[in-house]
Amino acid sequence: MHSSIRLSWLARLPNLDRYAMGLSGLCAVHCFASAVLVALASTAGGMLLHPAFHEVGLTVAIVLGALALGRGIFEHGYMAPAVTGSLGLGMMAGAMQLPHGNGGETLWTLIGVAILALGHDLNRRAAH
């Protein structure tokens, strides 16, 4: 079966990279806001720093990344956006393994989010 037939439903989602970049931005805001909220009010920060919140967010990022960046490979044939985005996702997943509260997790997550957003931007530019 031809790849364009199998992925035709993805073609109906032209703004998938923009949505994924928006999610990356929301993640960055969440990370920054969580750090600020922890400093200001430990109870509110505790809810935002709950591991389940991060696990769900990372899962959504992985699914959006796989769909958007994977579609890009079939549309324009360039692997660089998918590789860049995958590096960012890997850094985000790795950051979840670091201890909370020392700033390292937030720093590495924000770096991963920026790299993932770069991958989506490269993907969007290659498609146009």
pLDDT tens readout for residues 10-23: 666 677 888 888 88
Q: Check residue 15 and give its pLDDT.
A: 78
Structure tokens at 36: 């600020």
15 vs 85, which has greater pLDDT? 85
Instruction: Please count the helices (runs of H) and the strands (runs of E) in the chain.
Output: 7, 0
pLDDT tens readout for residues 104-124: 888 999 999 999 999 999 999
Domain ranges of the chain: 34-127
Structure tokens at 116: 């993932």
Write down the mean pLDDT value for the chain: 82
Q: Check residue 31 and give its pLDDT.
A: 80
Instruction: Give the confidence band of 103 by pLDDT, cuts at 50, 70, 90.
Output: confident
> Is-contact 80 30, C-beta < 8 A?
no
Instruction: Give the confidence band of 42 by pLDDT, cuts at 50, 70, 90.
Output: low
Best CA proximity match to 86, nearest among 75, 70, 98, 110: 70
Structure tokens at 38: 């922890």
Mean pLDDT of 58-68: 91
Q: Check residue 83 and give its pLDDT.
A: 96
pLDDT score of 3 more than 70: no
